[in-house]
Structure formats: structure tokens, C-alpha cells
């Protein structure tokens, strides 16, 4: 599906309002360790705040937080995380990105959408069990408090979808009672969202 941006289109996901500020960043970034397909933080109060405040990752019994590669890269870009490899060497943003791209297909396109959603002030989590890339919660809602409002599929503007694939994405959203968003990433890594709805003639 090839799509160009439309001007003056009301996006389904509004930008974060100026009045809504991010939680105050910690002075010391949290240490974390890259392990295969995930990242584990140190066991610390600052690390646990990733989960408690904004639902990054999963809180483990030993007090550490297990982050997905996309979550970890976002926190790394925000300078809220320092990542180390198995040899205890610091991994910078580009090196982390290369490692992640070897593990996950379409990683950069998915990351662009994840970053954009987080920057708008929404909590976004994976939605693999729903058959989608991500699920998005309304502002102020945390997973466990209420259901996600949207499922989103990130695609590059130059990619194509068959009608069968397009219909399958609609079925996923319809069966999970969520609204369907297609996040289209352009050559400048900007994201435009299109909400797809069922219509009954």
C-alpha cells in the first residue's frame, strides 16, 4: 500500500499537550544488559520506575525489569538507559540498533512508530498475541487498568499490502474490539496514522 501524507487531516492520535509533561528524568541513567533478544535492567528503584510509572517492560521477581529491544532503544535514545554487552562494554545507539535489526525484522520501521507514539504521551506495548505489532492505551490508562484502545501496524510508505493482508488486519482489530491504525513511515522517518473502520452498507 503506497500512501502520501494528506494536509490538514485530523490524526486519530493527537500530539501530546504542552501541559502534559514527562515524569522528571533521573539524573543517573539506569544500567541494563543486552541478553540475546531482550534487555535486563539492574535491580534498582530507578529501574523499577520504568515499569511502575510508564509500564516499560515487565517487572521480574528479582526486582529487575525485562525490556524489549524497542523499549530499550527508546530509553537509550532518551538517555535514561545505559546498555552493556556480555563483555560489559557500553553499547551506543547505532550499535544497539544494528544488533536489534539482526534479531527483529522490520525493526526500524516498528521503532519509528513506537517512538512517535511514546513521544505523544501514550503507553504502547507489543500485541503479538493479538496478531498485531502494538497495542496502544488511551492517555492516562495503564495496562491492567483498562483494555487497549487501538492496535497499530507499522508500514513503510513504499511497501505494498494485498487486499487479503489488509482484510486480515481489519479482522484482528474487529475480533479484539480495538480500533485499527496503520502507521505509515515516510523517508524522513515521520509517521502518519490512518484509522480503518468497518462499514456496513
Tell me the average pLDDT across 29-57: 93
Where in the chain do CATH 3.40.1170.20 domains reside?
30-103
Domain 107-196 adopts which CATH fold?
Answer: Trna Endonuclease; Chain: A, domain 1 (3.40.1350)
List, for residues 171-200, the tens digit of each pLDDT value: 888 888 899 999 999 999 999 999 988 777
User: Phi-psi region for residue 88, left (φ > 0), alpha (ψ -120 to 50) or beta?
Assistant: left
User: Residue 74 pLDDT > 90, yes or no?
Assistant: yes
Strand 30-35 versus strand 38-41 pairing type: antiparallel
How far apart CA 108 and CA 164 sit, in angstroms, is 25
| Residue from 171, 185, 75 nearest 132 by CA | 171
Question: Which residues are marked as active site?
Answer: 137, 147, 178
pLDDT digits (tens, 9 = 90+) for 9-25: 456 777 765 434 454 54
List, by residue range, all CATH 3.40.1350.10 domains of the chain. Answer: 107-196
pLDDT tens, position by position, 112-133? 999 999 999 999 999 887 788 9
Strand pairing class (191-196; 179-185): antiparallel
Q: What is the largest CA-CA distance in the chain?
A: 61
Topology (CATH) of 30-103: MutS, DNA mismatch repair protein, domain I (3.40.1170)
pLDDT confidence bin for 64, thresholds 50/70/90: very high
Query: According to the model, what pLDDT value does residue 128 have?
Result: 80
- pLDDT value of position 7: 42
pTM to 2 decimal places: 0.85
Amino acid at each position: 500500500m503506497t500512501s502520501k501524507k494528506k494536509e490538514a487531516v485530523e490524526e486519530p492520535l493527537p500530539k501530546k499537550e504542552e501541559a502534559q509533561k514527562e515524569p522528571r528524568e533521573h539524573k543517573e541513567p539506569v544500567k541494563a544488559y543486552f541478553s540475546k533478544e531482550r534487555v535486563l535492567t539492574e535491580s534498582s528503584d530507578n529501574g523499577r520506575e520504568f515499569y511502575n510509572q510508564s509500564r516499560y517492560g515487565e517487572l521480574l521477581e528479582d526486582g529487575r525489569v525485562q525490556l524489549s529491544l524497542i523499549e530499550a532503544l527508546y530509553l537509550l535514545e532518551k538517555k535514561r538507559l545505559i546498555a552493556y554487552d556480555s563483555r560489559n562494554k557500553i553499547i551506543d545507539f547505532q550499535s544497539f540498533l544494528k544488533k536489534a535489526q539482526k534479531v527483529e525484522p522490520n525493526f526500524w520501521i516498528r521503532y519509528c512508530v513506537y517512538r512517535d507514539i511514546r513521544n505523544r504521551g501514550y503507553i504502547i506495548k507489543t500485541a503479538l498475541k493479538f496478531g498485531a505489532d502494538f497495542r496502544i492505551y488511551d492517555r492516562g490508562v495503564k495496562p491492567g487498568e483498562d483494555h487497549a484502545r487501538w492496535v497499530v501496524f507499522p508500514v513503510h510508505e513504499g511497501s505494498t499490502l494485498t487486499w487479503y493482508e489488509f482484510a486480515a488486519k481489519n479482522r484482528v482489530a474487529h475480533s479484539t474490539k480495538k480500533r485499527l491504525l496503520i502507521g505509515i513511515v515516510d523517508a524522513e522517518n515521520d509517521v502518519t496514522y490512518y484509522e480503518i473502520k468497518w462499514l456496513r452498507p
